[in-house]
Amino acid sequence: MGILSLLLWTPALGVLLLAFAPRQNAALIQVIANLFTTFALLLSCVLVYRYDQHNSALQFNEYFPLNPNLGSAYALGVDGLSMPMLVLATLLTSIALLASLTIATSVKGYHICILLLEFGMLGVFLAQDWALFYIFWEVTLIPLFFLIGRWGGKRRHSASLNFVLYTMGGSVFMLMSLLAVSQYDLQHGGSLMTSMHQAAQDMPLYEQVLVLLGFLLGFGVKLPIFPLHGWLPLAHVEAPSPVSILLSGILLKMGAYGLLRVVVMLPEAAQLLQPVLVFLALFGMLYGGLLAWRQSNLKAMVAYSSVSHMGMVLLGIASLTEMGINGAVLQMTAHGLIAGALFLLVGLLYQRTHTLDIQDYSALLQTMPRFALMMILTLFAAMGLPGFVGFIAELHTLIACVQQWPWLSIFFVISILITAAYSIRTLSMLFTGPIKPPMQALEDLRPSELLAAGVLVASIVLLGLLPARWIDLSATTLTQLNSLIKQRVS
């Protein structure tokens, strides 16, 4: 078994062991789940260490034919696009389990669903076969449906149903696009993903546009882009905070990751639809930011801010330039860390106060200094201040925007200012003013909570101060992808 299969099947093996664990022994269940997620995180770190950042080709390849007539195969591989996502997925899953120690009902089922979700997410980023990719994409729906519907808030059933209906609706269009491409000659050898890239070159332009539109609907639901974002605020508000960490930190990135793969496959169609993509990106950035500004519910604010920040990812992809695509990949990682930290901290605050209304707080700097430090640093990163990971990502995308559409950069800047406005408002209302009586005896972060938040905040700061290794991890692959796009659209 190769290292990629070992990484992929580690969460599945954890699910198998949990299935035989006694449901009454919550401590044993938590230990087993944390051991397997930690082992997966260590494996992803080993992959980063062994990964050759100067080689743009797929690495650690594993290939086993499943259906020779169709060309589908158990094909795994990593490159500079998938490697950061693997590390992010394993890291945030470990953080989510650390934040799940307070789960008291159906502990066994909860941890099984978390490990199944990690299995599906890793499969999406490791698959080098479109059929395999689609299977893992659908696998993530099942555990998320139960995680939201069983352990969520008062409107959890509506939230889980909305999420599944939106995502399944998008998946239908994705499947139609995959079937449309598969009608062309795929007898090129190798994996189905490679064959589909080659077959797409033989498609008439109008068919390429239709196929890209299908993919845009499928991936756009997860990204999410306006107006396909309707499921997101309700799901985030009702989901348990550890699930929100994974939903915002990883699940949204699956949509961006898939769309980026498709744009490289269909660059001519992407160039034709570029005005539409740019409009959707800029509108999403402004729309999400303004709605986040209006929220008094902390989780709703972070949810709508995700719409705004993922709009930057779409803008980078829509630029069809190396700088823009690089900015999109960097923003995917940056937003995963920042949103994960925000949902973690908001969830920990909710456990102590049982309110998410920002009007109910004040002067937490005095009662919860460790929490305050983590929250302040994370919100600074969300604003894109220099020295934090958000600044590096936004700078790349802004440069690409100025180079491509100078006059449109004003909307980008307005979006950043809106983000700064609601972030500063949040800081002011949480940490200044008189101490309200219900907030006088709040417990500060416990050691396990401080560890989880500290890892994310440290990553946000270190990647902001020392971004070279982070950027170089994807640079060679993104250069190759950009050259493939230029060959087709020039």
pLDDT by residue for the chain (490 residues), tens only, comes to 789 999 999 999 999 999 998 988 889 999 999 999 999 999 999 999 999 988 888 889 898 887 766 667 888 999 999 999 999 999 999 999 999 888 888 899 999 999 999 999 999 999 988 888 999 999 999 999 999 999 988 888 888 898 888 988 889 999 998 888 877 655 544 455 666 677 677 788 888 899 999 999 999 998 888 888 888 888 888 889 999 999 999 999 999 999 999 998 888 899 999 999 999 999 999 999 999 999 989 999 999 999 999 999 999 999 988 999 999 999 999 999 999 999 999 999 998 888 888 888 888 888 899 999 999 999 999 998 998 998 999 999 999 999 888 898 899 999 999 999 999 999 999 988 788 877 778 888 889 899 999 999 999 999 999 898 889 999 999 998 888 888 877 6
Domain assignments of the chain as residue spans, ordered by start: 273-490
pLDDT of residue 55: 86
**Torsion angle (degrees, nearest 10) of CA 264, 268, 270, 274:** 140
110 token code pair: 């909860």
pLDDT of residue 185: 57
Separation of first and last alpha carbons in the chain: 42
* CA atoms of 56 and 234, how far apart (whole Å): 40
pLDDT of residue 70: 65
pLDDT of residue 66: 76
Contact (Cβ atoms closer than 8 angstroms) between residue 360 and residue 297: no
pTM: 0.94
Alpha helices (H) along 51-140: 82-98, 107-126, 130-139
pLDDT of residue 189: 46
> CA angle, corner 266, sides to 264 and 267, nearest 5?
70
pLDDT of residue 71: 64
pLDDT of residue 186: 56
483 token code pair: 């050259």
DSSP 375-432: HHHHHHHHTT-TTSHHHHHHHHHHHHHHHH-GGGHHHHHHHHHHHHHHHHHHHHHHHS
pLDDT of residue 203: 81
Contact (Cβ atoms closer than 8 angstroms) between residue 314 and residue 256: yes
Contact (Cβ atoms closer than 8 angstroms) between residue 431 and residue 365: yes
